[in-house]
């Protein structure tokens, strides 16, 4: 059962909320989706929408709000936008039930927010407890490529006085999935545990059917002879493993985290899986700190490639500043002995040395696993079509295809 997805679109000008006729007209004229039906009932705009051959029902209504203090601010806001956001007191609530493709559904909801209020200041994604920049939303809304799966959910860390950390997500229930938890983490290990949680959430978002309790899911190669196979255990059963007094125990769930949520455990071996013997993620703490290779699905790799290509002009624009430098990830054909039906590419990071038309001059920054003829430090030229991701490093930080709104802010 999917929970409704709730977002609140905040206009840059509060007067825009009074223009109901303009709001309806803009939505009906959107080139990104088709409005099949619209009606206003008791102050609520009800919409039936067709998007990518799926039908959705959305409800839109004005709502007063107070900026949530504990929500994660996902993006950079200029000072003037921060001031306006702190003074804002009303927005348009946009609620809908996700369809079978969570990423498509999330993208549609952003497109709907932008169609309703093109001069958008921010979006408060209540379901994931995030605050999104209006500049980022505008770019995402006009893109042909959905945002990264990590936008659908937020992972929060609650620290105890004894140094333990309770990790848990918000946002997956709207996708018809269980929220995720990692119990009994620590201040020293929670970042590695977060990486596991994020990878598992991304993989779950792509499965045709929700993962069942106890069902295995391969997430990463930890070393030459060890792999990470995770599973989900409903929170009530997970507490029996740790004890009721743990951080995240029964007493911490009176006001939430007591519904569809599950803890991540692992199967150390095939025999353990076959016998139902799961173990805590912490058994791998030493290995997790050594940069394991997390599995990216082909669909996510293609999404990243499409976004990197769509916004490649930002990469070259960033390099017009001599203080910046960049890495590019290229998808190269692996040696024949390693190819499988599902994969024949290894995605490798290179330093970008220059560009000659549609050719990239690059220097390899890592030792490939599956291409014997390439070695760290090798210099070569590859076509732009091999590009699957990129990062610009500036004196103030880094910019990825997802973060290019920052470059537009700097130009304002």
DSSP string, 16-72: GGG-HHHHHHHHHT-SSSEEEEEEEETTEEEEEEEETTEEEEEEEEEEE----SSSE
The tokens of 310 are what?
Answer: 């769509």
Structure tokens at 292: 């394991």
pTM of model > 0.85 = yes
Tell me the CA distances in angstroms from 159 to 166, 168, 195, one per residue in order: 6, 12, 17
Beta-bridge partner residues of 313: none
β 120-125/164-170 pair status: unpaired
Is there a contact between 194 and 142 (Cβ–Cβ < 8 Å)?
no
First-to-last C-alpha distance (Å) of the chain: 44
CA dist 73 and 131 (Å) reads: 5
Query: Which residue's entry shows tokens 């929408």?
Result: 49
Digitized pLDDT (tens) for each residue of the chain, 412 residues in all: 789 999 999 999 999 999 999 999 999 999 999 999 999 999 999 999 999 999 999 999 999 998 888 788 888 888 888 899 999 999 999 999 999 999 999 999 999 999 999 999 999 999 999 999 999 999 999 999 999 999 999 999 999 989 999 999 999 999 999 999 999 999 999 999 999 999 999 999 998 899 999 999 999 888 878 889 999 999 999 999 998 889 999 888 888 888 999 999 999 999 999 999 999 999 999 998 887 878 778 888 899 999 999 999 999 999 999 999 999 999 999 988 888 877 788 899 999 999 999 999 999 998 888 899 999 999 999 999 999 999 999 999 999 999 999 999 876 5
The rounded distance, in Å, linking the Cα atoms of 88 and 107 is 25
Hey, is 184 helix, strand or coil?
A: strand
Q: Which residues contact 82 (CB under 8 A, 6 or more apart)?
A: none
Measured CA to CA, the distance from residue 201 to residue 230 in angstroms comes to: 11
308 close to 246: Cβ distance less than 8 angstroms: no
The DSSP bridge pattern shows strands 179-186 and 261-266 to be parallel
| Residue labelled with tokens 């990830």 | 329
Neighbours of 29 (CB within 10 A): 9
Domains and CATH numbers, the chain: 5-150 (3.30.310), 153-294 (no CATH), 298-411 (no CATH)
């Amino acid at each position: 059962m999917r929970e409704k997805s709730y977002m609140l679109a905040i206009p840059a000008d509060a007067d825009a909320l009074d223009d109901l006729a303009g709001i309806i007209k803009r939505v009906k004229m959107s080139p990104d989706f088709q409005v099949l039906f619209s009606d206003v009932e008791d102050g609520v705009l009800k919409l039936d929408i067709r998007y990518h051959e799926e039908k959705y029902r959305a409800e839109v209504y004005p709502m007063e709000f107070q900026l949530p203090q504990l929500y994660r601010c996902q993006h950079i806001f200029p000072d003037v936008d921060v001031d306006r956001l702190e003074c804002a007191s009303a927005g348009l609530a946009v609620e809908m039930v996700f369809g079978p493709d969570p990423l498509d559904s999330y993208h549609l909801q952003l497109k709907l927010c932008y169609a309703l209020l093109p001069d958008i200041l921010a979006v408060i994604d209540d379901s994931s407890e995030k605050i999104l920049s209006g500049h980022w939303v505008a770019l995402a809304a006009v893109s042909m490529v959905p945002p990264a799966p990590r936008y659908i959910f937020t992972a929060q860390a609650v620290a105890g006085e004894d140094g333990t950390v309770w990790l848990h997500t918000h946002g997956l229930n709207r996708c018809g999935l269980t929220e995720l938890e990692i119990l009994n983490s620590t201040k020293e290990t929670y970042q590695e545990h977060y990486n596991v949680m994020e990878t598992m959430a991304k993989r779950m978002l792509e499965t045709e059917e929700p993962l069942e309790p106890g069902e295995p899911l391969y997430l990463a190669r930890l070393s030459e002879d060890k792999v990470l196979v995770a599973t989900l255990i409903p929170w009530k059963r997970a507490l029996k493993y740790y004890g009721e007094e743990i951080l995240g125990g029964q007493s911490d769930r009176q006001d939430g985290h007591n519904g569809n949520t599950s803890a991540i455990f692992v199967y150390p071996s095939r025999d353990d899986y076959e016998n139902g013997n799961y173990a805590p993620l912490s058994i791998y703490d030493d290995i997790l700190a050594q940069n394991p290779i997390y599995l990216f699905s082909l669909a996510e790799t293609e999404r990243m490639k499409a976004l990197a290509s769509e916004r490649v002009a930002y990469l070259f624009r960033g390099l017009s500043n001599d203080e910046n430098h960049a890495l590019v990830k290229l998808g190269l054909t692996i040696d024949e002995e390693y190819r499988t039906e599902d994969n024949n590419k290894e995605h490798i990071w290179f330093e970008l040395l220059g560009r000659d038309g549609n050719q990239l001059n690059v220097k390899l920054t890592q030792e490939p696993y599956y291409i014997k003829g390439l070695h760290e430090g090798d210099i070569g030229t590859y076509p732009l079509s091999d590009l699957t991701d990129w990062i610009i490093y500036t004196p103030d930080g880094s910019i990825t295809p997802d973060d290019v709104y920052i470059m537009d802010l700097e130009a304002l």
